[in-house]
Amino acid sequence: MTALPAGSSAVPVVSAHGVGKRYGPTVALADVSLTVHPGESHALVGRNGAGKSTLVSILTGLSKTDTGHVEFGGEPAPPASKQDDWKQRVACVYQHAMVIPQLTVAENLFLNRQSGGGFAIGWSKLRRKSRELLDSWDVRVDVDTPAGELSVENRQFVEIARALSYGARFIVLDEPTAQLDSQAIDRLFERMRQMQAGGVTFLFISHHLHEVYEVCQAVTVLRDARHVLTAPVSEVSHTELIDAMTGEQGGLAVRDAATRDALPADAAEILAVEGLSGDGFGDVSFRIHRGEVIGLAGSNASGKHQVAETVYGLRSPSAGTVSVDGRRLRPGDIPAALRAGIGCVPRDRHHEGLVLEHSIMDNTTLSILDRMGRGGIAAPRTRYAKASKALVDYDIVAAGAEQPVSDLSGGNQQKVVLARALASDPRVVVLINPTAGVDVKSKEALLAVVDRVRAEGKAVLIVSDELDDLRLSDRVLVLRAGAVVAEHQAGWSDGDLVADIEGVRER
C-alpha cells in the first residue's frame, strides 16, 4: 500500500548526525546517526538503557545534543527555546498520557490555543474545529468526552491528531502497543498505514520485534548508547535483530517446558483453585503441583490478570476458594496468602510493585519485614544483608543495596520485584506480566530465575501477554471473557495458542 522509501533520492524527514549526549559520568548516547525517510515507518529498537529515550528527547527538542546535529527536511533543527517550531516538525506520543484528564478532548486538542488568536474562547467553534480535525484523520472519538475517560488506544489517536494539527508530519510513537490488546494493536497498525499513505512518517519504538516486521519498513538498533545497525526490515532476520540488540549470538534462550522431563505422576498438589469467580471472570478452576508451571493466556479483557490477583488476595472473589496444601485461604487477605506461602509479582511495577523512591533494600524486604528478627525488629543491617544477597542471586545491576530503585533500568527494577516475591521462600509463585517492558537480556534472566525456582519444587502461575513467558508452562490455560476456553500442553505452536486467545480458531 505504501511505497518503500526510494533510497536517498528524497530529502530525509529527519536526520541526526553523530549525536552524543552525556549525563554527568554516564554516556547516554555516543556518535549516533539516524536517517528517517518520508512516508516510512522506522523502527527504533534496543534494550532498556540503550539510548532510545535519549535519542527521542533530542529528536523532539526536549534535550540538547552535546555533539553532532539534527536536521529536519535538510534544514537545521530550530533552537531549543523555540518549542513552537519544534511542534511543527515533530511530536512524540509517550506511553504515559500527555493529556489533561479532566478537560474534554476538544480542549486538550487545542490546549493553550483554545481561542485561536481571539480574546475569548468560542466553545462551539473549538468543538467544531476539533470535530473536523479528528474526522480528517478518521479518529472516532466524541470531542466532549473528558480525556481521562478515553481508552489507551483512543488517547493515543487523540495525541497523534493533536501533533498533526501543529503541522508535524513526523511522529514518534514510544512503545504504543505496550498497554494495548491485540485487536487494538491491529487497529493502531491499520491507522498507521493509513496515515503513512497520507504522508505521515513514524519512528516506532517497541520491545516486540514481530511488530517491527508487521508495520515498519526500516529498523535502527541501538546498543549501549551506540548505533549498531540500520537496515530495511526485509533484510534482517529476527535472530539477527536480537543478536544486534544483545551483542550476542543465539537469540532468546528460553527453555521450553516441552524439552524437560515430564512432571512425576506423584508430584504433590500445592495450589488448588476451585470455582473461583470475581470481577471479570467466573468459575475458574485449576491445580498446580510441585515443580509445575501453569500459564494463563488471554486478551487484556479476558480476566486473566484478575484471576491471578485474586489467588494472591489483591482482589476478593465473589465465589470459590483458593487452597494451599489443602488449607483454604481467607479470601482477599494478602498477609494470609503470604503466610500460606504465596509470593507474587504484581501486574505493574510502578503502580503496585515498587516504592520507586525507596532503596533496593527497602523494596526487597518489604513483604518479609515480619521475619527479620524477634518482636518485629527489622534492623537495617539485616535488611542490607538480605538485599545484597538478592543483588547477587538475581543478577541485579546496581551500585549497592541502598540505591533507590528509581535509578535502575526497567529490567533491573523488575528483578527487584521478583526478588521480593521470592524473598519469603514461597511455595507458590504468582507472576503477572513478569517481563513487561524489559529488554531481551533481562527477560532471559528473569525467566531463568522462574525456571530455577520451578526446579526447586515451587508451583508457578504465570500470566502474560508474551508467548516467550508462557513457553515455560507445562500447561497453558486460555481465558476468554472470564472463562477458561482451552488448555494447551507444553509444545504448543504459537499459531494455535494465538488463535485460541483471539477466538479465531476455525473448527
Partner 1 sequence: MTDLMTDPATAALPAPPKRRKALWLRELALLPALVIVFVIGASISDTFLTFNTIRDILTAAAALSLVVLGESLVLLTGKFDLSLESTMGIAPAVGVMLVIPAASAGFGTEIPVWLGLLAIPVVGALIGLLNGFLIVKLKLNAFIVTLAMLTILRGTQIGSTKGKTLFDQLDPFTALATTTFAGLPMSVWLAAVLFVLFGLGLRYHRAGRALYAIGGNREAARAAGIRVDRISWAVFVVAGVLAAIGGLAYTGYVGAIGGNQGDGLILQVFAAAVIGGVSLDGGKGTLVGALTGVILLQSVDYLLHVAQVPAEWLKAIYGGIVLVALIISRYAGGKPQT
Within 465-484, which residues bind partner 1 (CB under 8 A)?
A: none
Within 47-66, which residues bind partner 1 (CB under 8 A)?
A: 49
Strand order in the sheet with 319-324: 281-289, 269-278, 319-324, 327-328
Q: How far is the CB of 226 from partner 1 (least distance, A)?
A: 5
Report the distance separating Cα 128 and Cα 136, nearest Å: 12
Report the distance separating Cα 331 and Cα 336, nearest Å: 9
Q: Is 20 in the site for partner 1 (CB under 8 A)?
A: no
Judged by beta carbon, residue 263 or residue 336, the one nearer partner 1 is: 336
Judged by beta carbon, residue 292 or residue 439, the one nearer partner 1 is: 439
Q: Is 26 in the site for partner 1 (CB under 8 A)?
A: yes
Judged by beta carbon, residue 121 or residue 397, the one nearer partner 1 is: 397
Backbone phi and psi for residue 56, each to the nearest 5 degrees, phi listed first: -65, -40
Within 91-150, which residues bind partner 1 (CB under 8 A)?
A: none
Residue-wise burial string across 38-57, b where 16 or more C-beta atoms lie within 10 A, e elsewhere = bbbbbbbbbbbbbbbbbbbb
Please select the residue that binds partner 1; options are 398, 463, 472, 501, rule is CB under 8 A.
398
Site string for partner 1, 316-335 (x = CB under 8 A): ------------------xx
By the 8 A CB rule, do 449 and 418 touch?
yes
Q: Is 279 in the site for partner 1 (CB under 8 A)?
A: no
Q: Which stretch binds partner 1 (CB under 8 A): 149-157, 220-228, 268-276, 280-288?
A: 220-228
Closest CA to 106 of 124, 120, 82, 83: 124
Q: Is 188 in the site for partner 1 (CB under 8 A)?
A: no
* Contacts of residue 101, Cβ cutoff 8 Å, sequence gap at least 6: 146, 147, 148, 149
Q: How far is the CB of 198 from partner 1 (least distance, A)?
A: 35
Q: How far is the CB of 351 from partner 1 (least distance, A)?
A: 6
Q: Is 355 in the site for partner 1 (CB under 8 A)?
A: yes
Report the distance separating Cα 247 and Cα 259, nearest Å: 26
Q: Which stretch binds partner 1 (CB under 8 A): 71-79, 181-189, 358-366, 385-393?
A: 358-366
Report the distance separating Cα 408 and Cα 413, nearest Å: 6
Closest CA to 196 of 169, 219, 173, 165: 169
C-alpha cell at 268: 504433590
| Other CB atoms within 10 A of residue 449 CB | 19
Q: Which stretch binds partner 1 (CB under 8 A): 34-42, 154-162, 210-218, 353-361?
A: 353-361
Please select the residue that binds partner 1; options are 282, 295, 346, 426, rule is CB under 8 A.
346
Q: What's the half-sphere exposure (Cβ side, CA atoms, 13 Å) at 233?
A: 21
Judged by beta carbon, residue 458 or residue 480, the one nearer partner 1 is: 458
Strands 67-72 and 342-345: unpaired
Residues 220, 224, 226, 232: what is their CA dihedral angle, to the nearest 10 degrees? Answer: -10
Q: Which stretch binds partner 1 (CB under 8 A): 59-67, 211-219, 376-384, 497-505?
A: 376-384
Q: How far is the CB of 347 from partner 1 (least distance, A)?
A: 9
Report the amino acid identity of residue 254. V
Q: Which stretch binds partner 1 (CB under 8 A): 102-110, 154-162, 349-357, 483-491?
A: 349-357
Report the distance separating Cα 58 and Cα 463, nearest Å: 36
Q: Is 426 in the site for partner 1 (CB under 8 A)?
A: no
Report the distance separating Cα 465 and Cα 342, nearest Å: 22
Q: Is 232 in the site for partner 1 (CB under 8 A)?
A: no
Report the distance separating Cα 367 and Cα 370, nearest Å: 8
Exposed / middle / buried, residue 377 (Cβ in 10 Å: 0-12, 13-18, 19+): exposed
Q: How far is CA 232 from the centre of its chain?
A: 25
Please select the residue that binds partner 1; options are 212, 219, 225, 431, rule is CB under 8 A.
225
Judged by beta carbon, residue 353 or residue 410, the one nearer partner 1 is: 353
Q: Is 238 in the site for partner 1 (CB under 8 A)?
A: no
C-alpha cell at 345: 509479582
Q: Which stretch binds partner 1 (CB under 8 A): 68-76, 115-123, 218-226, 450-458?
A: 218-226
Report the distance separating Cα 342 and Cα 339, nearest Å: 7
| Other CB atoms within 10 A of residue 453 CB | 20
Q: How far is the CB of 329 from partner 1 (least distance, A)?
A: 13
C-alpha cell at 210: 514481530
Judged by beta carbon, residue 90 or residue 344, the one nearer partner 1 is: 344
Please select the residue that binds partner 1; options are 103, 178, 267, 378, rule is CB under 8 A.
378
Judged by beta carbon, residue 215 or residue 221, the one nearer partner 1 is: 221
Judged by beta carbon, residue 125 or residue 226, the one nearer partner 1 is: 226
Q: Which stretch binds partner 1 (CB under 8 A): 37-45, 144-152, 322-330, 360-368?
A: 360-368
Q: Is 212 in the site for partner 1 (CB under 8 A)?
A: no
The residues binding partner 1 (CB under 8 A) are: 25-26, 49, 223-229, 244, 247, 312, 314, 334-335, 337-338, 344, 346, 351-358, 362, 365-367, 369-370, 372, 376-380, 397-400, 402-403, 407, 420
